[in-house]
Amino acid sequence: MTSTFMGLEIGKRGIQAHQKAQAVTGHNLNNLETKGYSRQRAEFSAFEPIYLPGLNRAETPGQIGQGVVVERIERIRDQLLDKRIIAQASELGYWTARDRYISEMEQLHLVPGLNSVKSKMDSFWDGWQELSQHAADTEFRTAVIERGKTLVDGIHNHFSGLRRLQDQVDSDIQMNVSRVNDLSRQIAALNGDIQRIKAQGDNPNDLMDRRDLLVDELSTIIDVTINQKDPDEYMVHTSGHILVQGQTGRQFEMRKDIDSEGFAHIFWKDTRNEIVFAKGSLGALLELRDGTIEFEIQNLDNMTMNFTDLVNEIHRSAYGANGMTGLNFFSEYPFVTNVNGNYDRSGDGVFDSSYIYRINGTNKLEPQAQIGFDGVITLSASDRQVQVPYYSTDTVTDVITRINNSGAEVVARLNREGSLSLKGTPADLVAGQRVNPDFVIRHVEDSGYFLAGYAGILQQSGAEGAYSWTQADAVAVLAGGAENYALAPIAHPSGWIEVNPSILKDPTSVAAGFGYNGNPANPGNGDAAAAIASIRNTQVMVGRLATFDDYFADSTGRIALLGEQSGINRATQDVMMKDLYDRRQSISGVNIDEELSNMIRYQHGYNASARFITTVNSMLDTLINRMGV
């Protein structure tokens, strides 16, 4: 049955509901500038009526309501929009991180004027050209030495700049991994708090805001997706793996890898499996460190190694003013000390590999001569072997071009004597790792007679006469002796190239002329200096580029295109993310006008409830105090 004091209960509930709603409004206004805060709304519902269906229901007409209550405090959030933001944020994080470091690479490459490596190399070639015209004058030899030292310093500075940038990216990777681990722990801890509060029937809105803010930050670092099929288990996935599951936050660890020159790779701490990220700032940083910057270092090393080898090749065969010959202009540091290039790659104390950089043929070839026979040359590539067919109607130049365009990690050219020269190139990176050593020829085979007999590279055709680096003394199958091959260098020649100390001590050792019939060159002979100067515009095959000028043009153009690409993509992502954030703010953000309107509305509701209690109180006063005799 109804109570005499039921009206007081109804009024009390109205006061409590509007007071709570007013508190929610105040909470919204106070968090107007709080990052990640989502506005909240008090959801009103009618309290249960006094009579519910049942056999003991009083026989009175209708149901009498008992006022209003705040059923829940609702957080205003668009879940579909949140998922779009999370998916898009990894793209923004990727291009933001990439654009920052590409800009630094542009500054390294686009050095103005005489400070650039290209300008210093041009000056070096000019020095040799001047020496060819004044071979008898010592000051021109000294000028060549000084210009060589200046060029070396420029190459060193460029290498050091790239390496410092690579080290900086590596430090950034470590900080990002540490941050991901921290975010994973925080999200898992919040999941536990949220789950416990929900179990009590409450809505932990502020905790869910904090969790969403952490997930937003996480999504800029790595690519993540959210899954909550089970309402009690909030899950975060990355790269197809679970990162956070309920109250469990998995962790990453970093382990250094000798194949990547000591740089650390990322592994799951529990399973020890390596993980690779394609998006987010961490994905961009890994690609920069192990791909983009490493590729630029390899290109610089390749240019330096070819430059050193070509200058030394001519200089060794020429004579200085003091009569010395067989002297390198630049110091060479082979990776192995064994004269046959033998190396213990497995570390068991037994030679099992051969590290050879260059192989020269023993025969002089005519570039436009037709070879007159068919066959297939097999050369090593990054993770396979490539086959280069040749035909009887091909010229020597045709075969060389086909080798250079085959994708093999071997390039070919005719050297100054007209002999075929095969050189190893920097090894391609596979999944950001250096699977093979740089500047090592790993396989050379010919089913016909172009390399065996015609060019004088191999002694025998077929598989039985093939050169393979996977054995010691592999040079035994080569047609020439030790003077026809060169050992692979120590890693990163652009970091250690130097002018030969013997030449620095005695400038007259700079070779300017070729000898004839075993006799030293005449003092005024500048043929060798002219030959070195001509390297500038010679088809020297720096990797798959024809000349050194091609290298500088390609390098500058490539970095400029990378900068343009990263800048455009970052600007595009900024616009897209701003649009998404604005849309979310329009839904979840606090609107002062709306909140002030709600404040007045709840105030009126509160006043009405209080007035209702006053009226009921007056009625009760009449009933209790004014009825009687």
Which tens digit of pLDDT belongs to each residue from 196-245? 998 888 889 999 999 999 999 999 999 999 988 777 789 999 988 999 99
At 383, which amino acid appears? Answer: D
Tell me the C-alpha distance between 544 and 531, whole Å. Answer: 22
Average pLDDT for residues 385-400, to the nearest whole number? 94
From 358-372, 428-442, 523-537, 583-597, the region with the lowest mean pLDDT:
428-442
Tell me the C-alpha distance between 222 and 266, whole Å. Answer: 12
For 160-169, the pLDDT digits (tens) are: 999 999 999 9
Average pLDDT for residues 615-622, to the nearest whole number? 89
At 399, the pLDDT band (50, 70, 90 cuts) reads: very high
Tell me the C-alpha distance between 424 and 441, whole Å. Answer: 5
Listed in sequence order, the residues at least 6 apart from 125 whose beta carbon sits closer than 8 Å to its beta carbon are: 532, 533, 535, 536
Pairing of strands 433-434, 443-446: unpaired
| C-alpha closest to that of 252 among 224, 275, 229, 226 | 275
pLDDT of 64 strictly over 90: no
Average pLDDT for residues 565-584, to the nearest whole number? 94
pLDDT of 126 strictly over 90: yes
Tell me the C-alpha distance between 453 and 448, whole Å. Answer: 9
For 482-514, the pLDDT digits (tens) are: 889 999 999 899 999 999 999 999 999 999 998
Q: Is the pTM of this model over 0.95?
A: no
Q: In sequence order, what E strands does 327-374 have?
A: 342-343, 353-354, 356-364
Mean residue pLDDT across the chain: 90
- Tell me, what's the pLDDT at 233? 84
Tell me the C-alpha distance between 423 and 362, whole Å. Answer: 15
For 267-284, the pLDDT digits (tens) are: 999 999 999 898 999 999
What's the residue count for the chain?
629
At 257, the pLDDT band (50, 70, 90 cuts) reads: low
Q: In what order do the strands lie in the sheet with 356-364?
A: 410-414, 419-424, 356-364, 485-487
Residue tagged 């290498």 (tokens): 159
Q: In sequence order, what E strands does 398-440 have?
A: 410-414, 419-424, 429-430, 433-434
- Tell me, what's the pLDDT at 165? 94
pLDDT of 186 strictly over 90: yes
Task: Give DSSP secondary structure letters for 33-100.
Answer: T-TT---EEEEEEEPPPS--SSTT--S-SS-----EEEEEEEE---HHHHHHHHHHHHHHHHHHHHHH
Question: 22 and 602 in contact (C-beta within 8 Å)?
Answer: yes
- Tell me, what's the pLDDT at 239? 87
